Structure 1
Amino acid sequence: MHQSKLILFTSLLLVSMLIHAETGNHSSNRENIDRESIGFGLGAIIGGLIAGPPGAVIGAAGGSMFRHQKIISMETRDRETIKDDTYASLEHQLKQKSNELALLQNNIAHNIARGRSELARALHKVGLENKQSALKKLENGLSMSVYFRTNDDVVDNTLLPHIHDLATLIHGYPELKVQLSAYADYRGKPAYNLALSKSRAQAVRNALIKAGLPGNRIYSHALGEANANARDRESLIFDRRVDITLTINTET
Structure 2
Amino acid sequence: MAQGYPPPQYPQNGYGQQPPQNGYGPNPYAQGPYAQPPQPQPYAQPPQPYGRNPYPPHGQSPYPQAQPALPPCPKEAGGGRRFLAIVLDFVLAVGLGFAAANAADAASRPKPVAHAAGHAVHHSSGPAVPYFVTLLGVGLLASFLNQVVLARLTGFSVGKGILAMRVVRRKRVMRPNTWRLTRRWLLGFVYLAVVFLSEDFEVSEGDIVGMRSVRWKHLQEYQQAVGRLG
Q: Which TM-score applies when normalising by structure 2?
A: 0.29
More helix by share: 1
RCO (CA 8 Å, sep 6+): is it higher in 1 or 2? 2
Q: TM-score, normalised by structure 1?
A: 0.27
